[in-house]
Structure 1
Amino acid sequence: MTLSYDSNGDGPALVLLHSSVCDRGMWDPQVPTLYDAGYQVVRCDFRGFGDSPVANQPYSDAADVCDLLDYLNLECAALIGSSHGGEVALEVAAQRPRQVPALVLLCSAIPGHVPGPELRAFTERKTALLAANDISGAVDLSITTWLGSDASAEVSENVRRMQRRAFEMQTSARFDSVSEPVELTRITASCLTISGAHDLLDFREIAADMPKRIAGARHLELPWASHFPSLERPAAVMDLLRDFLNEEYPTRRN
């Protein structure tokens, strides 16, 4: 197995997919509660994040996740994705609609999105800082761009650590993940898409448009949230996850 992962529990499977700022540690606040609710909770590090090595050949994060599902013999798994993790979840759900019955997308990206001015400006600034080997500056930019004021000092420090580790690992990377064009209308999963009112416009628009792309998808915008609501107010987001999963992907305990 290429990806580093952990799996706990033996109920219906939930696969947690992290953003491109963090690694699987971003889900630490949610894992114990989801496990206690009766789910098998699986989370992985994409290549070049956390404990997964950088790639030495062309690859796809979505293909890696599909390989993980096969490796764990998960015939059915709900996917919960944050930002880039949401983009990967959409690719997997479109490629394997029968295998993915439920999706939760937190401030998700989307395959094929053309960046707007805000996101493009962030990417250009980050690229310039990394090209100048100013990793600290690039980390600071990520924190100020993506993490809302509700995040605690401890959360901010954890995100800072995860982002720095990713930047340091990826300086030696020869390949980035590639996304294949996907037909989102193939997705049959029940879908909850969540946006933050203080996030960049790109992600707010992606979330608001999701019900037009996926039949039956529901959109909820959180008035207090920025790009990482699951880190900014973990308990509030856990309540939303619990309500959605109880309805759409329950365990025997529900």
Structure 2
Amino acid sequence: MTLSHDVAGDGPALVLLHSGVCDRRMWDAQWLTLIDAGYRLVRCDLRGFGGTPAPDRPHNDAEDVQDLLNSLGIRQAALVGSSYGGHVALEIAARWPDRVSALALVCSALPGHEPSAELNALGEREEALLEAGDIVGATELMVETWLGPDADETTREAVRRMQRQAFELQMAVAEEFEPIEAEIDLAAIQAPCLAVSGAHDLADFRQIAARLPDLLADAEHVELPWAGHLPSLERPSTVTDLLIGFLKGTIPAV
């Protein structure tokens, strides 16, 4: 199955991977600016998000993204991942290090991370609401949890739409299939990495970003004092400038 996706622009390839509460539309504010900066952009919906159906069999999201890039003839790309999209980006960079030119991880999850009691409790509240059929309540829980204080109502409504659609897609299937977790070695990652965290985010993701310089060969950590978990939506132009500054120093456009 081919992931629903968009491709545009010319220059070095740049793949945008969405968070687990959004879909590829979360990158709308960055899309044209990154194209104008000289990059060939790809953004996709993982299974069960946006325009891609929920999985009907065991699958691996990193392999899905690799299959998409193969179909597009992209041999090497920089990866920008938000939250769960960062988890996918790290897996790709560890399993196929020669195919990743740079990593920009925004409030990223981490393969093998042991969730805190706070994060587990959040997951239990979400699951209880969904089991009760309260998609609206589960959606509002996610909006309130993951967006920081700078997010305006337009941004909140955008996340609300994306998250609700994801819940509806995922709950419409008869059987739920979790992604297959692959064994990976983060030490295999050689691409330069920018790890961004938000001061208003859950502790798990702040700690992951702070750890990445110790786990990867070439990583820098930047914390945004104003940000929650989705800073690319909360202050889009600020994050776009941060990404372009990092990319220009690692994979400059021709």
TM-score over 0.5 for the pair: yes
Superposition deviation, residue 72 in structure 1: 0.7
Superposition deviation, residue 212 in structure 1: 0.8
Structure 1 residue aligned with 2:198: 196
- Root-mean-square deviation (Å): 0.8
Structure 1 residues not aligned, in runs of 5+: none
Establish whether residue 65 from structure 1 lines up as the match of residue 59 from structure 2.
no
Do the aligned partners of 1:112 and 1:181 also contact (CA within 8 Å) in 2? no
Structure 1 residue aligned with 2:213: 211
Superposition deviation, residue 172 in structure 1: 2.7
Superposition deviation, residue 157 in structure 1: 0.3
Superposition deviation, residue 179 in structure 1: 1.9
Do the aligned partners of 2:149 and 2:226 also contact (CA within 8 Å) in 1? no
Question: If the length of structure 1 is used for normalisation, what is the TM-score?
Answer: 0.98
Calculate percent identity across the aligned residue pairs. Answer: 58
Establish whether residue 248 from structure 1 lines up as the match of residue 237 from structure 2.
no
Q: 2-side partners of 1:76 and 1:223: how far apart?
A: 33
C-alpha distance after superposition, 1:126-154 (max 9, x if no partner): 01100101000000100110001211211
Q: 2-side partners of 1:54 and 1:143: how far apart?
A: 21
C-alpha distance after superposition, 1:59-100 (max 9, x if no partner): 011110111111111111000000000000000011111110
Superposition deviation, residue 178 in structure 1: 2.1
Superposition deviation, residue 209 in structure 1: 0.2
Structure 2 residue aligned with 1:238: 240
Structure 2 residue aligned with 1:17: 17
Q: Which amino acid aligns with 2:214?
A: K
Q: 2-side partners of 1:242 and 1:55: how far apart?
A: 34
Structure 1 residue aligned with 2:49: 49
Establish whether residue 101 from structure 1 lines up as the match of residue 106 from structure 2.
no
Structure 2 residue aligned with 1:121: 121
Equivalenced residue count is: 252
State the 4+ residue runs in structure 1 displaced beyond 4 angstroms: none
Q: 1-side partners of 2:69 and 2:181: how far apart?
A: 18
Q: 2-side partners of 1:58 and 1:64: how far apart?
A: 12
Q: Which amino acid aligns with 1:115?
A: P
Q: Secondary structure at the match of 2:14?
A: strand
Q: 2-side partners of 1:191 and 1:43: how far apart?
A: 19
Q: 1-side partners of 2:38 and 2:222: how far apart?
A: 25
Structure 2 residues not aligned, in runs of 5+: none
Superposition deviation, residue 10 in structure 1: 2.0
Q: 2-side partners of 1:118 and 1:224: how far apart?
A: 21
Superposition deviation, residue 176 in structure 1: 1.9
Do the aligned partners of 1:192 and 1:217 also contact (CA within 8 Å) in 2? yes
Q: Secondary structure at the match of 1:114?
A: coil
